[in-house]
């Protein structure tokens, strides 16, 4: 050791090749959490639009939902079952994460496959719901502000569910080929965080659009 104080740059740890400091949250997972933060603000913008429009209508003494559309959005069997499936899929996702944390690859793959299936079922049910809204009630994105809000908010949520389904499919394929272990599974953690976020947004959407109105 020489007298002068040279500090060697942090050696590369295999797990996170780019992170100089191994404490705290993994760098890739931090990136996903920050991305979720920005997504949260995207939906906050949409919710802001909803409540601004609602408050404006109520302030002017107009009914909300607008007259003629009071009974279109109701918690009927399809949206309720879809909600139950999506919420349950968050639990199966977390089950998969806890399996791989213990090194159980088969258990994780099983849980991911179930989660993937539930996500797809949710999307199919949403598509069916859209179809029946358009055909039975003639309620579409151009049916005034109410239709614009409903289809934009649920549509962007659906797009995010689709993104999550793609993510789950990717980690499932990687899981099947045995790329994850108890130490190396940051992708699973990241997709799981995203999936929980999508689920929570849906709970807020469901409460707002179907019950609070």
The answer to whether residue 42 forms part of the interface with other proteins (CB under 8 A) is: yes
Q: Considering only the stretches 31-39, 95-103, 165-173, 184-192, report the one whose residues sit in contact with other proteins under the rule CB under 8 A.
A: 31-39
Taking CB under 8 A as the rule, does residue 58 contact other proteins?
A: no
Structure tokens at 14: 């295999």
Instruction: Report the distance separating Cα 32 and Cα 164, nearest Å.
Output: 12
Non-local CB neighbours of 150 within 8 Å, separated by 6+ positions: 73, 139, 209
Q: Which range touches other proteins (CB under 8 A), out of 15-23, 80-88, 181-189, 200-208?
A: 15-23
CA-based nearest residue to 163, from 126, 183, 191:
191
48 counts as binding other proteins under rule CB under 8 A: yes
The contacts of residue 59 (CB under 8 Å, 6+ apart) are: none
Question: Using the rule CB under 8 A, which residue among 14, 21, 102, 136 binds other proteins?
Answer: 21
- 131 near other proteins, judged by CB under 8 A: no
Backbone dihedral angles phi then psi of residue 24, each to the nearest 5 degrees: 70, -160
181 in helix, strand or coil? Answer: coil
Answer yes or no whether residue 8 interacts with other proteins by CB under 8 A: yes
- Among 15, 30, 132, 183, which residue interacts with other proteins (rule: CB under 8 A)? 30
Q: Three-state DSSP class for 139?
A: coil
Pick the stretch among 6-14, 79-87, 112-120, 190-198 that binds other proteins (CB under 8 A): 6-14
- In sequence order, what are the residues at sequence separation of 6 or more whose Cβ sits closer than 8 angstroms to the Cβ of residue 72? 65, 133, 137, 139, 146
Phi-psi region of 5 (alpha: psi -120 to 50; beta: other; left: phi over 0): beta
C-beta of 6: minimal distance to other proteins in Å?
A: 4
For residue 208, state whether it binds other proteins (rule: CB under 8 A): no
Give min distance, CB of 76 to other proteins, in A.
Answer: 24
Closer CB to other proteins, 2 or 177, in the complex: 2
What is the contact surface with other proteins in residues (CB under 8 A)? 1-11, 18-21, 23-24, 27, 30-31, 34-35, 37-46, 48-49, 52-53, 56-57, 62, 66, 141-142, 144-149, 152, 156
């Amino acid at each position: 050791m020489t007298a002068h104080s040279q500090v060697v740059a942090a050696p590369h740890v295999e797990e996170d090749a780019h992170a100089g400091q191994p404490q705290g949250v993994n760098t890739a997972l931090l990136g996903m959490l920050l991305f979720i933060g920005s997504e949260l603000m995207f939906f906050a913008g949409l919710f802001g639009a909803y409540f601004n429009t609602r408050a404006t209508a109520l302030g002017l003494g107009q009914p909300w939902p607008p007259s003629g559309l009071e009974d279109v959005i109701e918690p009927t069997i399809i949206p309720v079952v879809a909600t139950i499936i999506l919420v349950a899929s968050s639990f199966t996702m977390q089950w998969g994460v806890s399996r791989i944390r213990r090194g159980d690859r088969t258990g994780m793959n099983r849980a991911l496959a179930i989660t993937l299936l539930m996500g797809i079922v949710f999307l199919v049910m949403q598509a069916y719901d859209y179809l029946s809204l358009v055909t039975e009630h003639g309620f579409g994105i151009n049916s005034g502000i109410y239709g614009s809000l409903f289809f934009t908010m649920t549509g962007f949520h659906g797009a995010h569910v689709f993104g999550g389904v793609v993510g789950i499919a990717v980690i499932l394929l990687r899981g099947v080929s045995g790329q994850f272990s108890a130490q190396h599974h940051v992708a699973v953690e990241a997709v799981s965080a995203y999936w929980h976020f999508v689920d929570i947004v849906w709970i807020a959407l469901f409460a707002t659009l179907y019950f609070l109105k």
